[in-house]
Amino acid sequence: MVKKILLFTMAAVISLSILSCQKENTPEESPDISPAASEEPPENIPVAVVNDTEIMLFDLFKMYQSLNKNYLQQGVDITDDEISNQILEEAVNTLIAYELLYQGAVKEGYKISDEELDKELEAFKSQYQSEEEFLESLEAQQTTLEEFKKDLERELTVSNYVQNTIEQPEVTEEEMLEMYEQYIKETTEENPPEFEELKPRIEQKIREDKFGKKVDELIETLKEQSKVEIFREETE
């Protein structure tokens, strides 16, 4: 039978190499927590399932590392057990949400053509000096070209699905003024910018917040229509 992992103890397993790497750095140095800096878990086993698709430990490991890096840059103490478990929970929930969106997109008939995929791939490669540098970057992330293309295809599929499923929210003048007034109350600037100067940024922020809430609602709807299980207990 498939071995199921106790989720809340997995942080101790998949973060060992990250924490040991931190100990080897001086206080002035930033620890290297990229995938290449630590070893993957010894066994790639399922940690959750969305309908018939398993989410694997290696994928959780990479997501956990990515979130750890982001929080570390924000000054969060990722060595704290409670915080580490919260990050792990966020990692698995993020993977589940993404899988729900991808399955929703496929069900609705969304598909990326080879031409679209090749175009996006070339655009990504153009950020590098050469093909060799691009491939070296993938190798440093312990990712093959085929894996990268698969991830890119999924990302484009989900993006198209979300953008076409959720209407761009409207933003009212009243909402923007309310946010600006809140900013004025909280800012420590002696001469804060006028409303008209900040208006485009305020509008974008409110629109993004509203859109994000709509995405969360879509994920919850998909979750209600799906069978989702997180493996939290060890069984044989």
Is 30 among the domain residues?
no
147 plus 178 within the same structural domain: no
Is 235 among the domain residues?
no
C-beta separation of 7 from 89 below 8 A: yes
Axis-axis angle for helices 57-73, 81-107 (nearest 10): 120
Domain that holds residue 180: 173-215
- How many domains does the chain fold into? 2
Is 211 among the domain residues?
yes
User: If 0-12 CB within 10 Å is exposed, 13-18 middle and 19+ buried, where does residue 209 land?
Assistant: middle
Is 131 among the domain residues?
yes
135 plus 178 within the same structural domain: no
Is 3 among the domain residues?
no
Is 7 among the domain residues?
no
Q: Tens-of-pLDDT digits for all 236 residues of the chain?
A: 344 444 443 444 444 444 444 444 444 443 333 333 445 566 789 999 999 999 999 899 989 988 999 999 999 988 888 999 999 999 999 999 999 999 999 999 999 999 999 999 999 999 999 999 999 999 988 889 999 999 999 999 999 999 999 999 999 999 999 999 999 999 998 899 999 999 999 999 999 999 999 999 999 999 999 999 998 755 44
Is 79 among the domain residues?
no
Handedness of CA 48, 54, 59, 61 (dihedral sign): positive
190 plus 159 within the same structural domain: no
| Consecutive H or E run containing 151 | helix 145-165
159 plus 177 within the same structural domain: no
148 plus 177 within the same structural domain: no
| Consecutive H or E run containing 224 | helix 195-224
Of residues 128, 148, 48, the one with CA closest to residue 93: 48
For the sheet with 53-56, list strands across it. Answer: 53-56, 46-50, 228-230
Is 185 among the domain residues?
yes
